[in-house]
Amino acid sequence: MYVPPLSSLPCAATTLRVLELHHCDLQPPAPSTEPSTCLAFPCLTDLSLRGCTYLQGYLQAVVDAAPALTMLALVDVTNKPPKLAGSGKRDRYEESKSFNLPLHLRSPTVTTLVLETNDSREDELEESRNIGIQLDMPSLRSFRYKGFPVKLWLPPPVPGLARVNLDTCLRERSFYKCEPVAAMLASFSSTRALKLHLVAIEAIISDPDEDSSNQNPGEATILPTFPNLKLLEIHGLFKYRNNNTALALATLLRACPALSELRLRLNMASDYHYNRKTEEREAGGPFALSVERFKRLGSMCAEHRDDVDLGAVSNLADPFTNSCTFGCLRTSLRKVTLQFKSKEVNCFQVQLAKFLVENAMVLEEMHVEDGDQFWPDHLWDKLTRWRADVFRRRNLPDTAAGFRVYQLANHVEDPRSLQLPFSIERQACGDQKLLRIEDLESRFQLH
433 has pLDDT over 80: no
Which helix (H) or strand (E) covers residue 355, if one does?
helix 348-359
Is residue 421 one of the residues assigned to a domain? no
pLDDT of residue 367: 93
Is residue 15 one of the residues assigned to a domain? no
Beta-bridge partner residues of 50: 22, 75
pLDDT for 126-146, tens place per residue? 454 556 889 999 999 999 999
114 has pLDDT over 90: yes
Is residue 76 one of the residues assigned to a domain? yes
Q: What is the mean pLDDT of residues 408-430?
A: 45
Is residue 356 one of the residues assigned to a domain? yes
Neighbouring residues of 398: CB distance < 8 A, sequence distance ≥ 6:
388, 391, 392
How many domains is the chain built from?
1
Phi, psi for residue 345 in degrees, rounded to 5: -65, -35
pLDDT for 290-335, tens place per residue? 655 555 555 555 444 444 454 566 677 677 776 668 899 999 999 9
Give the pLDDT band of residue 151 (cuts 50, 70, 90). confident
Is residue 355 one of the residues assigned to a domain? yes
46 has pLDDT over 90: yes
pLDDT for 345-371, tens place per residue? 678 888 899 999 999 999 999 999 877
Is residue 440 one of the residues assigned to a domain? no
pLDDT of residue 430: 42
Give the pLDDT band of residue 87 (cuts 50, 70, 90). low
Range of 315's domain? 20-28+39-81+100-120+129-407
**Is 435 exposed, middle or buried, given 0-12, 13-18 or 19+ CB atoms closer than 10 A?**
exposed
Give the pLDDT band of residue 50 (cuts 50, 70, 90). very high
pLDDT of residue 59: 92
pLDDT for 216-226, tens place per residue? 543 456 789 99
More confident residue, 430 or 135: 135
431 has pLDDT over 50: no
Residue 153 CA, chain-centre distance (Å), reads 18
How much is the pTM? 0.78
Is residue 414 one of the residues assigned to a domain? no
Is residue 6 one of the residues assigned to a domain? no
Query: Contact 336/262 with Cβ under 8 angstroms?
Result: yes
